[in-house]
Amino acid sequence: MSAGPGPERSGPPAGPVDDLRCDPDVPADIRYDPDLAVHEPMQVAPEAVTPGRRRSPLLLFAGGLLVLSVVIYALFGLIARETRTSTDYLNEVRVGRGEAWRAAYELSRLIPVESPQRRDPGLALQIISLIVQAQGQDARLRRYLVLSLGELRDARAADALIGALEDADTETRLYAAWGLGALGEPRAGPAVGLLLDDADAGVRKMAAYALGALGDVSQAAPLRAALNDPVDEVAWNAALGLARLGDRAGLSLLGRVLDRAYLDARTRTDDSGRPQPVDESRKEELLINALRAIALLRDRSHLATVRALRVSDPNPRVRQAAIECLEQIAGTAP
């Protein structure tokens, strides 16, 4: 007779159980795996553990969704902007009313990079018409339309730009002078020359630059007078402009510009009207332009200074400009 089942246990074992091998309730044919056995009680931290400052998954999801939305918006905005033409912005100017100047601003930024093949051949005439209509309106609208017109480099713009030299807005006059210099319209010389007496130093500075670019030798006399302008940058541009006209009257000033000690002692007025030292990028520009002007004039009186710049100036672009200046003067590499 086979033995019946053993008596049921009414409770846990009387004594402590070290591991599964000592537990009478576990059948003997079950393999004991020491890797799965609990040999020691779980250690309890002596102090309560501070909950981690983990963000809710919902908050993280919402933040990620917001970032993704901004990226998509910017991407589609960029795509839409790249597909717009100068005509699109011009149409916005026509219907923009109080915000028309923003479209004119975008137009002035687009024209320099826009493919001419995408541009309406009559764009210059349309802008000229809008400039006429904008008289007495928002000055920002006029200035960016004038800037856009100058960016086109269209000969039909000359008369409109000459007229804009008398605009009441300072920046409109400045952009008009720049546009005429970029256009290279010699007959604009007398009108631009009048701006050398403008109350705004920025306008005088641009006028001096434009007169050199126009190549009108009849304006050499006003440029010579501008060498004594109380604002350094106006005088510097006058010297550079004279060199472009083949006039040597500004040579002594160009020689001073080649001296870094002289530039270190000069200041520029910032937007708030406070004087600031001339920064390195501007010094680099001044030195390179002065070297090019001396090369244009084939001047030999500053060869020692130019040679010193070639060897010891800390700026590699200035050193290269000095090498090119010497080569142009001498005709051969030094």
Distance CA 107, CA 151 (A): 10
Alpha-carbon distances of 150 from 2, 109, 130, 157, 287, rounded to whole Å: 114, 12, 14, 7, 27
Read off the amino acid at residue 272: S
Phi-psi region of 242 (alpha: psi -120 to 50; beta: other; left: phi over 0): alpha
Q: Looking at residue 205, what is its pLDDT? A: 97
Give the list of residues 6+ apart from residue 125 with CB closer than 8 angstroms, or none: 156
How buried is residue 237: exposed, middle or buried, by Cβ count under 10 Å (0-12/13-18/19+)?
Answer: buried
User: How many beta carbons lie within 10 A of that of residue 315, not counting itself?
Assistant: 17
CA distance linking residue 266 with residue 249, whole number of Å: 21
pLDDT tens track for 83-134? 889 999 999 999 876 689 999 999 999 999 999 998 999 999 999 999 999 9
- CA within 13 Å, CB half, 195: 35
How high is the pLDDT of residue 166?
96
Quote the CA–CA distance of 180 and 213 in Å, as a whole number.
Answer: 9
Instruction: Assess contact for 244 and 277: CB atoms under 8 A.
Output: no
Check residue 332 and report its DSSP letter.
Answer: S
Q: What's the confidence (pLDDT) of residue 47?
A: 54
Please tell me the predicted confidence (pLDDT) of residue 67.
64
Distance in angstroms (rounded) separating the CA atoms of residues 204 and 173:
10
Return the pLDDT at 17: 46
Residues 6+ apart with CB under 8 A from 243: 212, 250, 251, 254, 293, 294, 296, 297
Burial-class residue 264 by CB neighbours within 10 Å (0-12, 13-18, 19+).
exposed
Other residues' Cβ atoms within 10 Å of the Cβ of residue 308: 14
Q: Count the neighbouring beta carbons within 10 Å of the beta carbon of residue 41.
A: 6
Chain centroid offset of residue 326 CA = 33
Closest of 128, 92, 86 to residue 107, by C-alpha: 86
Mean pLDDT by 10 residues, the chain (334 residues): 43 47 50 42 50 55 62 49 84 84 96 92 96 92 96 95 96 97 92 97 96 93 97 97 96 97 91 88 97 96 96 97 95 54
Q: What's the CA gap between 224 and 228, in Å, rounded? A: 8
Q: What is residue 226's three-state secondary structure?
A: helix
Q: How far apart are CA 330 and CA 231, in angstroms?
A: 34
Q: Are 129 and 154 in contact (CB under 8 A)?
A: no
